[in-house]
Amino acid sequence: MSSNATISETGRVEAFSDGVFAIAITLLVLEVKIPTLGAVPLGLQLARQWPQYVSFVVAFMFIGIMWINHHRMFTHIKRSDTVLMLLNLLLLLGVTALPFPTAVLAAHLGQVDQRTAILLFNGTCGFIAIAFNVLWRYGVSKRGHLLGAGVDLESAQKISRQYAFGPLLYIVCFALAYINVLASLALNAGLACFFALPPQVAVRHHREG
């Protein structure tokens, strides 16, 4: 049987991925606990939960913007094969796992073990960034039969250049955690904002910088 027989449209891949992204991003809020009744005023209890809010917002930004870029990816990739589906599952493995390091970070941010918590969080984000790059580059390398007809190759190259920064910058986040945990977390949030930019804008800003 020809290998082309395994090629199909990407509709089911995208629908399944959207469901995983939606569930993962929803699970994040479960770590924002409702304060209990007690002697401590409600306002003070809410203020003390700042690590939960910070962890939730950073992880929400990461997953949300990862979903945006996943959508951008599949505006170029119009067909899938077995390898593409397996690589997409590898990406979703990281996305599904992210609520766990987020919960660990929420519990330990501002505490003695906060460095270990941010290393776990950054490591998971770095794994997702690598999986995303591998998935995209596989799709680009299969230009002959996975990319859609009439795809703008210059646009695809800009996307490749933007995504290439991801794994390297998450290594910087990982290393920065040994110097300053909050700075590492802030850089993580900044990276989410960077990858939210359209590829042509992000690449131009990087060159100008």
The structural domains of the chain, with segments of one domain joined by +, span 3-208
Share of the chain above pLDDT 90, in %: 50
Share of the chain above pLDDT 70, in %: 84
Give the pLDDT confidence score for residue 4 in this predicted structure: 45
Token pair recorded at residue 154: 């210059």
Give the pLDDT confidence score for residue 58 in this predicted structure: 93
Give the pLDDT confidence score for residue 157 in this predicted structure: 73
Instruction: Work out the average pLDDT over 105-127.
Output: 93
Instruction: Work out the average pLDDT over 57-78.
Output: 90
Nearest Cα residue to 120 out of 67, 164, 173: 173
Give the pLDDT confidence score for residue 203 in this predicted structure: 42
Chain segment 26-54, per-residue pLDDT in tens = 999 988 888 887 778 888 888 988 999 99
Amino acid, single-letter form, for residue 18: D
> DSSP alpha helices (H): ranges in 40-180?
42-48, 50-76, 82-97, 99-108, 114-141, 153-176
Q: Residue 81: is its pLDDT beyond 70?
A: yes
Q: pLDDT tier at 149 (50, 70, 90 boundaries)? A: low
Question: Which of 30-39, 64-73, 129-138 is least confident?
Answer: 30-39
Chain segment 166-182, per-residue pLDDT in tens = 888 889 999 999 999 99
Tell me the pTM: 0.84
**How distant, in Å, are the alpha carbons of 123, 141, 161, 173, 201 from that of 81?**
29, 13, 24, 34, 31
Question: Which of 78-82, 113-117, 133-137 is least confident?
Answer: 78-82
Q: Residue 72: is its pLDDT beyond 80?
A: yes
Token pair recorded at residue 149: 């007809």
Q: What are phi and psi of 147, to 5 degrees?
A: -75, 150
Q: pLDDT tier at 6 (50, 70, 90 boundaries)? A: low
Q: Residue 2: is its pLDDT beyond 90?
A: no
Separation CA 75–CA 158 (nearest Å)? 14
Q: Are 22 and 97 in contact (CB under 8 A)?
A: no
Q: pLDDT tier at 65 (50, 70, 90 boundaries)? A: very high
